[in-house]
Structure 1
């Protein structure tokens, strides 16, 4: 089961994602991410530390959210784990995002 919990911090919005991000669940992340990009402040952190699987549809959502963030002059950053890191590395997207590992939000 996938969940996306949105939390507003003092200077950013955090989307805590857990479970699988695939064709069936990627729209949930997309919708939450698009809503978060409309919240002030304009810094969004997607916490993927509890994601167990991500496929190309999940990567597509991350790219879409990055593009929307840039359009809105917002910042988008990821907190990742080793599984997600491997997929980002293989796909060449590790150089596209600001990524931190573990539980600390990227600065």
Structure 2
């Protein structure tokens, strides 16, 4: 599985980790990682430490996650991005929508 999830013991934080290519092939798996939960966590972390590739469909998936989590009031962090991924996210102005580190 290239998309894995972990929920904090108190259920308030969801961590979604991507391994390998983050592209349209991961769409269903990524959506299920947050839609299948019984309740919405207060914060979501998308860990890209092991992501080797990110394309425009991945950006779209991040936007869908943001909408699902509450849009402007959502607390979503994108962490462990490579330098190249950070550049893509910055060029796309995602640094204004997500906390990126």
TM-score of the two chains, using structure 1 as the length reference: 0.76
Deviation at 1:61, TM superposition (A): 0.5
Relative distance call for 1:39 and 1:81 in structure 2 (3 A) is farther
Task: Give the conservation status (yes or no) of the 8 Å contact 1:6–1:14.
Answer: yes
Aligned length: 97
CA distance in 1, matches of 2:24, 2:14: 24
Name the SS for the 2:48 alignment partner: strand
Residue by residue, what CA displacement relative to the aligned partner does 1:58-94 show, whole Å, maximum 9, x if unpaired?
A: 10000110111116x6522211222321211121212
Over the aligned positions, Cα root-mean-square deviation in angstroms equals 2.1
> 2:20 aligns to what?
19
> 1:30 aligns to what?
31
- Say whether residues 1:5 and 2:4 are aligned partners: yes
